Amino acid sequence: MAIGIDPIRNHLDLGISDDVLLEMYRTMVLTRRVDDRMWALNRQGRAPFVVSSSGHEASQVGTAAALDKRYDWALPYYRDVGVALGLGLSLVDLFLGVFSKESDPNSGGRQMPNHWSHPGLRIFSHSSPIGTQFPHAAGIGYELKRRGDPGIVMVWGGEGATSEGDFHEALNMAGTRGLPVVFVIENNLYAISVPLADQVAGDLTERARGYGMPSESVDGNDVLEVYRAASEAVSRARAGGGPSFIECRTYRHYAHTSEDDDKYRPVGEIEMWLKRDPIANLRQYLIESRLLDQDSEVAIENEAVEALSAAVKTAEAAPDPTDPMAFVYARPIENVVPVEAVDADPPGEEMNMVTAINKALHEIMAAIPETVLFGEDVADPKGGVFKHAVGLTDAFGADRCFNTPLAESSIVGAAIGMAAVGARPIAEIQFADYIHPAFNQIVSEAARLHYRSGGGWTCPIVIRTPYGGGVHGALYHSQSIEAFYAHVPGLKVVIPSTPADAKGLLWSAVEDPDPVLVLEPKKLYRLVKGMVPAGPHRVPIGTAALRRTGSDLTIIAYGTMAYFAAEASDRLAQEGIGAEVLDLRTLRPLDWVSVEAAVRRTSKVLIVYEDNQFGGYGAEVSAQIAEKSFEWLDAPVRRYATPELPTFPYSSSLEDQVYPSVEGIMHHSRLLAAY
Ligand SMILES: Cc1ncc(C[n+]2csc(CCOP(=O)(O)OP(=O)(O)O)c2C)c(N)n1
Q: Is the CB of 51 under 6 A from ligand 1?
A: no
Residues 189-245: tens digit of each pLDDT: 999 999 999 999 999 999 999 999 999 999 999 999 999 999 999 999 999 999 999
Distance 191 CA to ligand 1 centre (A): 6
3-state secondary structure at position 499: helix
Instruction: Please name the residue whose Cα sits nearest to atom 12 of ligand 1.
Output: 191
Over range 99-117, report the average pLDDT.
96
Atom index in ligand 1 nearest the CA of residue 56 equals 21
Q: Which of 83, 133, 192 maximizes ligand 1 atoms within 8 Å of its Cβ, making it the mutation to test the pocket?
A: 192
- Please give the mean pLDDT across all residues of the chain: 96
**Which residue type, as a one-letter code, is found at position 661?**
S
Q: Indicate the pLDDT class of residue 2, thresholds 50, 70 and 90.
A: very low
Q: What is the pLDDT of residues 246-261, one digit of tens each?
A: 999 999 999 999 999 9
157 CA closest ligand 1 atom index? 15
Percent of the chain with pLDDT strictly greater than 90: 98
49 C-alpha to center of ligand 1: Å?
15
**For residue 431, what is the DSSP state?**
S
Cα-Cα-Cα-Cα torsion 605, 607, 608, 613, nearest 10 degrees, comes to -140
How far is Cα of residue 597 from the mean position of the Cα atoms in its chain? 36
- The CA-atom distances, in angstroms, between 398 and each of 174, 277, 374, 381, 395 are 16, 49, 10, 11, 9
The pLDDT-based confidence of 9 (bands split at 50, 70, 90) is low
320 has a pLDDT exceeding 70: yes
Span 386-412, average pLDDT: 98
Q: Answer yes or no: is the C-beta of 192 below 6 A from any ligand 1 atom.
A: yes
> pLDDT value at position 7?
56
**Cα 297 from Cα 301, distance rounded (Å):** 6
**The whole model's pTM is what?**
0.97
Q: Confidence band (pLDDT; 50, 70, 90) for 1?
A: very low
According to the model, what pLDDT value does residue 346 have? 86
Of ligand 1's listed atoms, the one at least distance from the Cα of 256 is 19
Sequential DSSP letters for 141-159? HHHHHHHT-S--EEEEEEG
192 Cα: distance to centroid of ligand 1 (angstroms): 7
Q: Is the CB of 88 under 6 A from ligand 1?
A: no
Mean predicted confidence (pLDDT) in 59-80: 98
Helix and strand element counts for the chain (H, E): 24, 21
- Cα 358 to Cα 252, 383, 390, 400, distances in angstroms: 53, 10, 7, 15
Residue 139, pLDDT above cutoff 70:
yes
Q: CA dist 570 to 438, 580, 663, Å?
A: 40, 10, 12
Bridge partners of 99, per DSSP, are none
Q: What is the pLDDT of residues 526-581, one digit of tens each?
A: 999 999 999 999 999 999 999 999 999 999 999 999 999 999 999 999 999 999 99
pLDDT recorded at residue 129: 98
Confidence label for 6 from pLDDT (cuts 50, 70 and 90):
low
Nearest C-alpha neighbor of 366 from the set 387, 388, 392: 392
Task: Give just the sign of the alpha carbon dihedral 481, 487, 492, 495.
Answer: positive
From ligand 1's centre to the CA of 157, what distance in Å? 9
Backbone angles phi, psi at 25, to 5 degrees: -60, -45
Q: Assign 647 to helix, strand or coil.
A: coil
CA distance 503 to 532: 8
Nearest atom (ligand 1) to Cα of 188:
20
- Compute the distance from residue 107 Cα to the ligand 1 centre, in Å: 20
- For residue 431, the model assigns a pLDDT of 98
Summarize the confidence of residues 628-652 as an average pLDDT. Answer: 96
| pLDDT beyond 80 at 3 | no
Distance of CA 659 to the CA centre of its chain: 33
Cβ(129) to ligand 1 under 6 A?
yes
Phi, psi (degrees; rounded to nearest 5) at 303: -55, -45
pLDDT reported for residue 344: 82
Residue 343: pLDDT band with limits 50, 70, 90: confident
Q: Does 516 score more than 80 pLDDT?
A: yes
Catalytically active residues are 477
Q: Is 228 in the pocket of ligand 1 (CB under 6 A)?
A: no
Note the pLDDT of residue 345: 80
Of 471, 494, 467, the closest CA to residue 480 belongs to: 467
Nearest-angstrom CA–CA distance, 324 and 330: 14
For residue 580, the model assigns a pLDDT of: 98
